[in-house]
Structure formats: C-alpha cells, structure tokens
Amino acid sequence: MVPPRGLAISLAAFVVAVLGAVFFRDTAAEYSFLMWLLAMMPAFALCHYRGWSRIKLVLGVSMVFITVGYVVTQLAGWRVSDWPAFVFVLAAYIGLALGWGWLAEVRNATTERQVAEEELQRTHQDLRESHANLKLAQWKLLEAEKLETVGQLAAGVAHEVKNPLMTLLTGVRYMQQQSQPNNPELETLLDDMRDARRDHSYREPRRGWCTGHYSV
Amino acid sequence: MHKKRILLVDDEATITRTLKLYLEGTGNYEVLAENQGSRALATARKFRPDVILLDLVMPDTDGSEVAEQLRDDEILCTTPVVFLTALVRPGEVADADGAIGGYQFIAKPLDPERIVACVERLTR
C-alpha cells in the first residue's frame, strides 16, 4: 500500500509541473528540465510503493534520458524552443501511465472479489448439502432408535417367556426321571410336554433388530 | 466317589428349585440354590462348588458382576462358571461354540440333560 501522504505529494507535484508548463511558457523554457524531474520523481516513488515495476522502469529510463539530454544540450549550447510543449506531452504520458497502473489494480481487485464470491457460493452450497445430509442422518437415527426400542421390547418379552419355559421343561424332565416305568400314558404325556417346546410355540425376535444392522 | 457340587445362582426360585430337583435326582450331584446375586460369592466360599451355574439378569447384583467377584477370588477363580441366561439365543451360543468372552453359556430354555452334559464336560 502506498501511504496517502506520498500519493498527495505525487499528485501535487504533477499538477505543479503541468501548471508551470502551461502558464509560464517563456520562463519555463530555461527550467522545464527541473519541472520534468519534479513531475516524474514522485510518480517514480508512487510506482515503487505500488509495485508497478514496468511503469517504474519506463519512468526511470525517461529520467535518465532527460538528464543526459539536458546536459548534452547545455554543453553544446543548443536552445530547444519546444520545451513547454514537450513537458506537457510528458506530463500527459505520466498521467496515462499512472492511470493504467490504477486500472490494472482495480481490475485485479475486481477479479479477486469475483473469485472470493465464487468461493463463498461454493462454500454456501457445500454447507447446504452438509445440512441436508445431517438432517437425513438425524432422521435415520431416530428411525433406528425406534426400531431398537421395538427390538428391546421383543427381547424383553422373549426373556419373560423363556424363564417359565425353562422351569416347565426341567419339571417335565424331573417327572420323567422319577416316574415309574409301568405307566406308559404318563410317559407319552411327559414326552409330548417335553417336545412341545420344540414346536416353536414362541418365535425368536428377527435377527438384526437390536444388533445394529440397521445402517445409518 | 463323592458327588460333584453345583451352585445354582438364579433369582427365579422356580428354576433353581426344579433344576435342583432334577440334578439331585440323577444321583450324581449335590446342588445348592442361591436366589440372590449379592450373596453368591459368600455362598460359593462356604459351599466350594465344582461348577457354578449363574444367571445373567438378576435384580440386585448382575451375573457378570458376580462372575467378576468370583474371578477375583483366590480359591474360586479356578471354578468353572456357566452363564445360564435367556438373553442369548441357542443359535448364538452354538455359533460361538458354547463360549462367549471366555465364559460357557447356556441359553434358556435348555433340556436339563444337556446342562448335565455341560457340567460333566467341565468337571472331567
């Protein structure tokens, strides 16, 4: 970032150079060389701060040429009558160069903002998708919880049925153990009672209800 | 030959009563029934059983807690423990080859003849 004070100085110097070239045509003829440098040096500093290296290079080369040109014309004793016009063209050139730099900067900023906006849009979309997925997962979890409750209920019912069955089965076996062999009807009856359990008079809960087979 | 001692721990008195009758009826076992899980350890220390048949779901002390107490006991830690439970299905026990987590399991209801076979296998 260029400091605002540097920017103000640069612009003021630029305006002074242009005004000098326009309003003091005759006197400026002798000293316009100084005005050029005065106009170009802050611009050079501005380009340096902003990092506009190509414009900075052009300005630097121009300053060197102007200085060398002035020295050569002085040593040779030449008088160049078109200095003011020359200065005016140069000032316009510097203005264009600076404007170009700013334009590029603004364009960069715009592009960056567009990229950031696209990124924001993508993030927003991702978040919406995540939210939808979470909603779905939550719903599935609720469903799984309901099923698990049903499974636990079934397991509890089975548990309550199995304990009495165990008693009955053991009782039947005890009676068989103790019964006299001369009573075939009782033997048949006890065999039937023992085998009644194997007729699957109760059903096991379906596998997977309470064992986490319901995937989320 | 002395009779093998079996300790039955189950909160269902009807089960322990009938099972005790059946097992003692075979003439090979001395059976003691305990209906409170919290008293199982003390009873086992006095009775010194060869096998402990232990219910899992009991109101005061869970069968698994009793099993842990027995495992931590100096003398009883070598006594085989068989879980007698309605929580698992016969198919699950068969799939696991009778043992789940290092313990023998019997799924209720089971023909007491097979309980006898299991006890015989463990005390051989």
H or E segment and range at residue B17: helix B13-25
- pTM for the full predicted model: 0.52
Q: Which residues pair with B85 in a beta bridge?
A: B107
For residue B35, pLDDT beyond 80 = yes
Kindly tell me if the per-residue pLDDT of B38 is higher than 60: yes
Closest-CA residue of A relative to B10 is A163
Do the Cβ atoms of A159 and B84 come closer than 8 Å?
Answer: no
CA–CA dist B106, B61 (Å, integer): 19
Q: Are B77 and B70 in contact (CB under 8 A)?
A: yes
Residue A40 lies in a domain: yes
Rounded Cα–Cα distance for residues A7 and A45 (Å):
9
| Residue ranges per structural domain of chain B | 4-123
- Select the more confidently predicted residue: A55 or B62: B62
CA distance B8 to B33: 5
Using one digit for the tens of pLDDT, what is the confidence trace for B55-107?
888 888 888 888 888 888 888 888 889 988 887 777 777 776 666 677 888 88
Cα dihedral A89→A93→A94→A99 (10° resolution):
140
pLDDT of residue B1: 65
Provide the pLDDT for residue A207. Answer: 47
A167 in contact with B, Cβ within 8 Å = yes
The predicted pLDDT at position A20 comes to 67
The pairing of strands B103-107 and B99-100 is antiparallel
Check pLDDT > 70 for residue A87: no
Give the percent of chain B with pLDDT over 90: 25
What value of ipTM does the predicted structure carry?
0.83
**Average pLDDT along chain A:** 76
Residues 6+ apart with CB under 8 A from A174: B18, B21, B22, B25, B112
Question: B7 pairs with which residues across the strands?
Answer: B32, B52
Q: How many CA atoms lie within 13 A of A132 on its CB side?
A: 6
Q: Any idea which of A86-90, A150-154, A190-194, B21-25 has the lowest mean pLDDT?
A: A86-90
Q: Does B103 touch chain A (CB under 8 A)?
A: no
Residue A49 lies in a domain: yes
Query: Rounded to an integer, what distance in angstroms lies between the CA atom of residue B81 and that of residue B58?
Result: 16
Contact A170 B15 (CB under 8 A): yes
Tell whether A21 is covered by a domain: yes
Q: Where are the alpha helices (DSSP H) in chain A?
A: 4-23, 25-50, 53-76, 83-178, 184-196
Q: Tell me the pLDDT tens digit for each residue of A153-208.
A: 887 888 788 888 888 888 888 888 887 777 777 888 888 887 776 654 444 544 44
Query: Is residue A163 situated within a structural domain?
Result: no
Residues B115 and B106: beta-carbon distance below 8 Å: yes
Q: Where do the H-state alpha helices sit in B73-111?
A: 90-95
Number of domains in chain A: 1
Q: What is the pLDDT of residues A102-128, one digit of tens each?
A: 777 778 888 999 999 999 999 999 999
Does a structural domain hold residue A193?
Answer: no
- Mean pLDDT value across residues A17-26: 66
- pLDDT exceeds cutoff 60 at A16: yes
Q: Give domain B4-123's CATH number out of 3.40.50.720, 3.40.50.2300, 3.90.550.10, 3.40.50.300.
A: 3.40.50.2300
State whether residue A199 sits within 8 Å of chain B by CB. Answer: no
Q: With cut-offs at 50, 70 and 90, classify the pLDDT of residue A216.
A: very low
Rounded mean pLDDT, A62-77: 81
Q: Which of A163, A169, A204 sits opposite B12 (nearest CB)?
A: A163
State the residue range of the domain holding A31.
Answer: 4-125
Q: Tell me, what's the pLDDT at A17?
A: 66
Distance CA B109, CA B87 (A): 11
Report the DSSP pairing between strands B99-100 and B51-55.
Answer: unpaired
Number of Cβ pairs < 8 A linking chain A and chain B: 55
Neighbours of B69 (CB within 10 A): 17
- C-alpha to C-alpha distance for A192 and A172, rounded to whole angstroms: 10
A154, closest residue in chain B (CA to CA): B87
**pLDDT value for B33:** 92
Numbers of helices and strands, H then E, in chain B: 5, 6
Residue A34 pLDDT > 80, yes or no? no
How far apart CA B18 and CA B40 sit, in angstroms, is 19
User: Residue B111 and residue A173: Cβ atoms within 8 Å?
Assistant: yes
Choose among A159, A173, A174: nearest Cβ to B86.
A159
With respect to residue A73, please indicate whether it lies within any of the assigned structural domains.
yes
Q: Is pLDDT larger for residue A184 or for residue A93?
A: A184
Bridge partners, residue B100, by sequence: B103
Which residue, chain included where needed, has tokens 């059946």? B22
Please check whether residue A24 lies inside any domain of the structure.
yes
A185 is a domain residue: no
**Partner-chain residue, chosen from B22, B87, B110, that has the shortest CB–CB distance to A174:** B22
For residue A128, what pLDDT is reported? Answer: 94
